[in-house]
Structure 1
Amino acid sequence: MSFSGKYQLESQEGFVEFMKAVGLPDDLIEKGKDIKSVSEIEQNGDHFKVTVTTGAKVLTNSFTIGRESDIETLTGDKVKAVVNKDGNKLIVVLNKVTSVTELVDGNTLVNTLTLGGLVYKRTSKRLA
């Protein structure tokens, strides 16, 4: 199953607490909590380009499964990380945050970010 496509955020759980924990400023948390971000994924074999647009902020990361890449985090930091694929899941650890992006079916993308005991879950649906 290919991850390629555009997905719009449908629901999220734990946003405010998680963003405070990773150090996002309160004004950005307030602005971001109600924005329906759009994620665009281009998959070509093991190479991925992921662009997430949240209001005026655009975050783009390109990586190849199993190879070290420079990944920009939610706070704008650049870190070296290796993204692994396990079935229909993309798994990466950025600093102390574990991110699991799962293509649940052909139209639903679930991204779960974990930091210690905090969990931030985003569910997005494929746009036609």
Structure 2
Amino acid sequence: MSFSGKYQLESQEGFVEFMKAVGLPDDLIEKGKDIKSTSEIQQDGDHFTVTVTTGAKVLTNAFTVGQEAEIETLTGEKVKAVVNKEGNKLTVVLSKITSVTELVDGHTLVNTLTLGSLVYKRISKRVA
């Protein structure tokens, strides 16, 4: 199953607590909690380009599964990391955050970010 497509955020859990823990300023947390971000994924074999648009902020990361890449985090920090793929799951560890993105069926993308005991879960539906 290909990850390629455009996904619209449907629901999220744990946003405020997680963003406070990663150091996002309160004003940005307040603005961001109700914005429905859009994720666009282009997959060509093991190479991915992921663009997440949240309001005016656009975050683009490109990587090849199993190879070190520079990934920009939610806070704008750039870290070197290796994205691994197992079945329909992409997993990467960015500093202290573990991100698992799973294509549950052909239409639902679930992204779970974990920092210690904090969990931030985003559920997006394919729109294109």
TM-score (norm 1): 0.99
Q: What is the CA-CA distance between 1:9 and the residue it aligns to? A: 0.1
Total equivalences in the alignment: 128
Counterpart of 1:115 in structure 2 is 115
Map of 1:58 onto structure 2: 58
Q: What whole-Å deviation, never above 9, does each CA across 1:75-107 have from its counterpart, x for those lacking one? A: 000000000001000000000000000000000
User: How do residues 1-128 of structure 1 correspond to structure 2 at under 5 angstroms?
Assistant: 1-128=1-128
Letter in 2 for 1:48: F
In structure 1, what is the Cα distance between the partners aligned to 2:25 and 2:106? 35
Let me know the Cα RMSD of the aligned residues.
0.4
Identity across matched positions, percent: 86
In structure 1, the gaps of 5 or more residues are none
| Structure 2 counterpart of 1:89, one-letter code | K
Structure 1 residue 63: Cα displacement: 0.1
Amino acid aligned to 2:27: D
Q: Which whole-Å deviations, capped at 9, do the CAs of 1:8-48 have from their partners, x for residues lacking one? A: 00000000000000000101000000000000000000000
The one-letter code sitting in structure 2 at the alignment partner of 1:76 is G
Tell me how far 1:70 sits from its aligned partner: 0.2
